[in-house]
Amino acid sequence: MPSEPLEANRAFPPAARPGLRRRLKPLWANKEFYLMLVPGVLYYLVYKYVPMYGVIIAFKDYDMLEGILHSPWADPWYKHFMQFYESPYFSQLLTNTFLISVYKLVFGMAPPIALAILLNECRVRWFKTLIQTLSYMPHFLSWIIIYGILLMFFSQDSGIVNRWLVDAGYDAVPFLTSTEWFRSVLVGSEIWQNLGWGAIIYLAAIAGIDPTLYEAGRVDGASRLRMVWHITLPGIRHVIVLLLILRLGHMLDAGFEQIYVLYNVHVYPVADILDTWVFRTGLEQWNYSLASAVGLFKSAIGLVLVYFSNQLAKRWGESIW
């Protein structure tokens, strides 16, 4: 009798082996899904994580002939950060970047939500499809094309809007070259381009709400507006918070491509942001160390913003992690 347990122990000598098999079993059962995950993981590894070693350029006096590893270290190590901080444009660049990002965040969050709710409440299918298609088409236009459209409408000499103003007895307004109007043009064109695309995300979230909640609301005599307020908006709250956190993490990304295409020397005081300044000063003048230092500065600020916005979201019962 005593020999049986001994033989059993010999048959399964490593005690962790059954536990390892148990842990691997769910992975093998869902191998197709993990296989689908591989391209995305490889993309982020190759294009997002591997190039991060180039961050050391920010702490070196980079020389293209010497390469990243053999370029001399900056003395002191924070030399390029101080160069940016002591620049006479530092406060202006930071202010412009934050203000444009805040304007886009504040004025750009509500329109896609409102459009998604209106499309969800629309009962005429063909009209709903038409509006949805027309609203997300601008998302696929480049900023060069959008700039041409803006010129057609807001050019001081030949723009349609200024022609209407002149015909009405008013003076033409330099929308694209005025420091008073340029930020409004930036924010408005950003909202117009991404309105329909953002609404798709909220429509998908609305589609995931339990339809029995609406049935219960109708039975209780709730109006459609009441159901939107008490069922639809709470049902997509987690998506709203998630997108808000992600956008807060990009507060210092005010939209390089858009601003670089639209801005001009007349609006530098209100439109020049970190990215455009880095492009002119860092890349056009081959000062890659300075450009890397500013990029690292932006990433650090973005990390802090994401962390604290996630901590704030936890108080609302929503968070990323």
How does pLDDT run across 136-163, given as a tens digit for each residue? 899 999 999 999 999 999 988 888 999 9
Of the pLDDT bands very low, low, confident and very high (cuts 50, 70, 90), residue 318 is: low
Helix boundaries (H) for 169-220: 182-207, 211-219
57 lies in some domain: no
Structural domain harbouring 215:
79-314
pLDDT at 32: 87
Domain presence at residue 12: no
Let me know the angle formed at the C-alpha of 154 by 152 and 159, rounded to the nearest 5 degrees. 55
The three-state DSSP-derived secondary structure of 244-273 is: HHHHHCCCCCCCHHHHHHHCCHHHHHHHCC
| Tens of pLDDT, residues 195-219 | 989 899 999 999 888 888 888 888 8
The per-residue pLDDT for 122 is 86
Are the C-beta atoms of 174 and 292 separated by less than 8 Å? Answer: no
Question: 283: pLDDT confidence band, cut at 50, 70 and 90?
Answer: confident
The residue-averaged pLDDT of 68-76 equals 88
Nearest to 205 by CA among 174, 167, 231, 166: 231
Q: Report the amino acid identity of residue 119.
A: L
Percent of the chain's residues with pLDDT above 90: 26
Considering the domain boundaries, does residue 124 fall inside one?
A: yes
| CA distance linking residue 172 with residue 178, whole number of Å | 12
Question: What's the rounded Cα separation, in Å, for the pair 258 and 265?
Answer: 15
How confident is residue 41, by pLDDT bands cut at 50, 70 and 90? very high
Distance CA 177, CA 156 (A): 9
Count the alpha carbons within 13 Å of 195 in the hemisphere toward its beta carbon: 20
Is the pLDDT at 258 greater than 80? The verdict is: yes
Q: Does residue 147 lie within any of the structural domains?
A: yes
Residue 36 lies in a domain: no
**Structural domain tally of the chain?**
1
In percent, the amount of the chain with pLDDT more than 70 equals: 92
Decide which of 285 and 143 is more confident. Answer: 143
Residue 257 scores a pLDDT above 70? yes
pLDDT level of residue 8 (50, 70, 90 thresholds): very low
In a domain, 26, yes or no: no
Answer yes or no: is 23 within a domain.
no
Neighbouring C-beta atoms of residue 39, cutoff 10 Å: 9
Q: What is the pLDDT of residue 12?
A: 47
Report whether 313 contacts 319 (CB < 8 A). Answer: yes
- The per-residue pLDDT of the chain, averaged, comes to 85
Cα(101)–Cα(99) distance, rounded to whole angstroms?
5
Alpha-carbon distance of 86 to 82, in angstroms, equals 6
Least confident of 63-67, 127-131, 191-195: 63-67
CATH code for the domain of 309 = 1.10.3720.10
* pTM of the shown model: 0.80
**C-alpha 213: how far from chain center:** 32
- Inside any domain, residue 30: no
Give 7's pLDDT tier (boundaries 50, 70, 90).
very low
13-17, 94-98, 182-186: which range is least confident on average?
Answer: 13-17
Cα–Cα distances in angstroms (integers) from residue 146 to residues 95, 96, 103, 135, 140, in the given order: 26, 22, 20, 14, 10
pLDDT of residue 107: 93
Binning pLDDT at 50, 70 and 90, where does residue 259 land? Answer: very high
Residues 85-101 pLDDT 10s: 888 888 899 999 999 99
* Predicted pLDDT of residue 187: 93
